[in-house]
Amino acid sequence: MAFIPHPDRRPVLVAGASSGIGAVTAEWLAAAGYPVALAARRVERLQELADKITAAGGEAVAVPLDVTDEQSVLDCVAKSEAALGPLEIVVAGAGDLAVGLSYQTTPETFADQINIHLTGAYRIFRAVIGGMIDRARGDFVFIGSDVAIRPRPWSSAYVAAKAGIDGLVATIQLELEGTGVRAGVVRPGQTLTGMGMNLDPHDTEAMLNDWIKHGLARHGNFLAPEHIAQAVAAMVTMPRGAHMRAVEVEAEGAVPRARREQQIEPEGAGQ
């Protein structure tokens, strides 16, 4: 057999699991039977989620992580593996958005964004990839963004970091070919999470107006974190022998009410 199937037990590390996409992805995977290590800075939130998962019959452990600190990343991986066993799956989704016009952003803020979103994800990759290559299997999922394909004004550093993720993943995919380890990127569109909720309201208004001006806010619908969790799950549950390299998920434009009312009910509906 060219590809040995996934093992029954596949421990997962989710970086950025205290909120939003990471939290829901961890819950989703735990409900599907995956043991999960929940990692972020706010450990009390992680512990609450771990308790919820455990109460529902899953297996979860809360592990502190700051992706900007290499030792913290190494400790997080060591603690996760001590608790759950060697990591078969990693979801790198830690992020913290800062916005501002490129010509007003400071070099420090710019570098911080790169550090969290790009170098942070790379630090996690670097910490786990050796073990995955040794075992000749593993899934590493980077949470990128649709801004890598369609940049938005007011987030030049974030866009640069997420475009960097795309470049990093494309390179990694070449380097990992034939090792048995799969790396992929999930690119969410706008998703309703904690991200952006702490921004200055004036900045947010100006930013949204610029998005409209550039045709980047065609409708007001947002994705839910559950949508992204499903994309991650699709990527990591893909049977071995195939490799889902990139998934882009966008919110669907709402069907106008008049059109919805005309829609034909599927056969058997209401029976």
The residues annotated as belonging to the active site are 158, 162
CB of 270 to ligand NDP, least distance (A): 36
In the shown chain, the binding pattern of residues 133 to 152 toward ligand NDP, with x for contact by CB under 6 A and - for none, equals ----------x-x-------
Q: Which helix (H) or strand (E) holds 13?
A: strand 12-15
CB of 180 to ligand NDP, least distance (A): 26
- 20 part of the interface to ligand NDP, by CB under 6 A: yes
**80 neighbors 13 (Cβ within 8 angstroms):** yes
Q: Which of 131, 151, 180, 194 binds ligand NDP (CB under 6 A)?
A: 194
Q: Which residues of 24-56 are buried (b: 16+ CB within 10 A; e: fewer)?
A: bbbbbbbeeebbbbbbbbebebbeebbeebeee
Reduced to 3 states (helix: H, G, I; strand: E, B; else coil), residue 126 is helix
In the shown chain, the binding pattern of residues 32 to 71 toward ligand NDP, with x for contact by CB under 6 A and - for none, equals --------xxx----------------------xxxx---
Judged by beta carbon, residue 40 or residue 157, the one nearer ligand NDP is: 40
Q: Residues with Cβ < 8 Å from 172, sequence gap 6 or more?
A: 125, 140, 183
- 6 part of the interface to ligand NDP, by CB under 6 A: no
- Tell me the β-bridge partners of 38: 14, 62
CB of 138 to ligand NDP, least distance (A): 20
Strand ranges, E, within 118-268: 138-143, 181-188, 246-249
DSSP 39-84: EES-HHHHHHHHHHHHHTT--EEEEE--TT-HHHHHHHHHHHHHHH
- 164 part of the interface to ligand NDP, by CB under 6 A: no
Reduced to 3 states (helix: H, G, I; strand: E, B; else coil), residue 207 is helix
- 214 part of the interface to ligand NDP, by CB under 6 A: no
Span near ligand NDP by CB under 6 A; candidates 13-21, 100-108, 124-132, 170-178:
13-21
**What is d(CA 173, CA 208) in angstroms, rounded to the nearest whole number?**
35
Q: Which of 11, 35, 58, 93 binds ligand NDP (CB under 6 A)?
A: 93
CB of 13 to ligand NDP, least distance (A): 12
Residues that bind ligand NDP (CB under 6 A): 16-22, 40-42, 65-68, 93-96, 116-117, 143, 145, 188, 190-191, 193-195
